[in-house]
Amino acid sequence: MPLLDIRNLATAYGASQVLFGISLSVEAGEVVALLGRNGAGKTTTLSSVMGLVPPRSGSIQFQGKEMFGAEPFEACRLGLGFVAEDCRLFTGLSVAENFEAARMAPRNGAVRLPWDVRRIVGLFPDVRTFLERRAGALSGGQQRMVAIARTLMGNPDLLLLDEPSEGLAPLVVEALLKCLKTLKASGATVLISEQNLRFAMELADRVYIIEKGEIRYHGTPAELAARPEIRQQYLMV
Ligand SMILES: Nc1ncnc2c1ncn2[C@@H]1O[C@H](COP(=O)(O)OP(=O)(O)OP(=O)(O)O)[C@@H](O)[C@H]1O
Ligand SMILES: [Mg+2]
């Protein structure tokens, strides 16, 4: 049974329907990427899973439980962690205080290593140098790392990352990619939305392509690498 199993998910903003029956799954320990152009429906998909935008129909099974209709706080409690593109840090608090505010005990009594500041610094070594700085004073790349780290402090069973590489300088993207590969190697389960094809292909075990609110392709990075016409049709601008 997949950790997350989304079936036929439909979401609308008022009268404007945006998702038309999305189905995708994430197995425990997998990194799955949702690729698509601007406006394809990536953020809406992740927001629907989190309950930030209530979906209209479909099913969202997480750890075997139906969570369609769950509120965001319930999604967190069930073990989902979401990092929005705009990070949403407590900008007036220090980085360490942001971490403290997000700390949550692991759920389900699962035997595993809970996140603490020491483990965060092991994953994102640079964070050590700005632990006491005000989060609002950090660069975009630093804020992105802090936002991911803060969500990890909640010990999520599934991490949802919305376009983590968006807006970052190439060197910062490389640094982030390296950290996320380490996170993956530690066994974390991640659903990541991306427009950066290479970033997603290097990280993901499987990729889905979304266009106009529908899944158009699903395969491994190696399979997608062998399909230039698919990349051309759905991902090139
Ligand atoms: N709050 C909203 N109200 C109305 N329409 C919205 C809202 N948010 C998104 N949309 C529309 O829904 C569609 C999907 O948007 P979404 O943000 O999910 O795409 P995306 O794939 O995340 O794009 P991007 O790469 O730009 O982040 C777009 O047509 C967008 O204009
Ligand atoms: Mg988006």
The Cα 64–Cα 67 span in angstroms is 9
The Cα 115–Cα 226 span in angstroms is 38
Query: Which tens digits make up the pLDDT trace of 75-127?
Result: 999 999 999 988 899 999 999 999 999 988 887 655 578 999 999 999 999 99
Query: Which tens digits make up the pLDDT trace of 49-73?
Result: 999 999 999 999 999 999 999 999 9
Domains, in order of start, for the chain = 4-234 (3.40.50.300)
Query: Which tens digits make up the pLDDT trace of 173-215?
Result: 999 999 999 999 999 999 999 999 999 999 999 999 999 999 9
- Tell how far the Cα of 39 is from the centroid of ligand 2, in angstroms: 7
Tell me the ligand closest to 84's alpha carbon. Answer: 2
140-152 and 170-185 helices, crossing angle to 10°:
10
Q: Which atom of ligand 1 is nearest to the CA of 41?
A: 18
pLDDT at 74: 95
- Tell how far the Cα of 201 is from the centroid of ligand 1, in angstroms: 23
- Tell how far the Cα of 114 is from the centroid of ligand 1, in angstroms: 34
Q: What long-range pairs does 229-237 form, CB within 8 A, spacing at least 24? A: 231/197, 234/35, 234/36, 234/37, 234/209, 235/35, 235/36, 235/37, 235/195, 235/197, 235/209, 237/37
Q: What percent of the chain has pLDDT over 90?
A: 92
The Cα 102–Cα 232 span in angstroms is 41
Tell me the ligand closest to 44's alpha carbon. Answer: 1
> Pocket of ligand 1, candidates 37, 42, 216: which has the most ligand atoms within 8 Å of its Cβ, to mutate?
42
**Could you tell me which residues are beta bridge partners of residue 31?**
190
Tell me the ligand closest to 11's alpha carbon. Answer: 1
Residues contacting ligand 1 via CB (< 6 Å): 13, 16, 18, 36, 38-44, 163, 195
Q: What's the per-residue H, E or C state across 78-108?
A: HCEEEECCCCCCCCCCEHHHHHHHHCCCCCC
**Residue 212 gets which letter from DSSP?**
T
Q: What is the pTM of this model?
A: 0.96
- Tell how far the Cα of 105 is from the centroid of ligand 1, in angstroms: 33
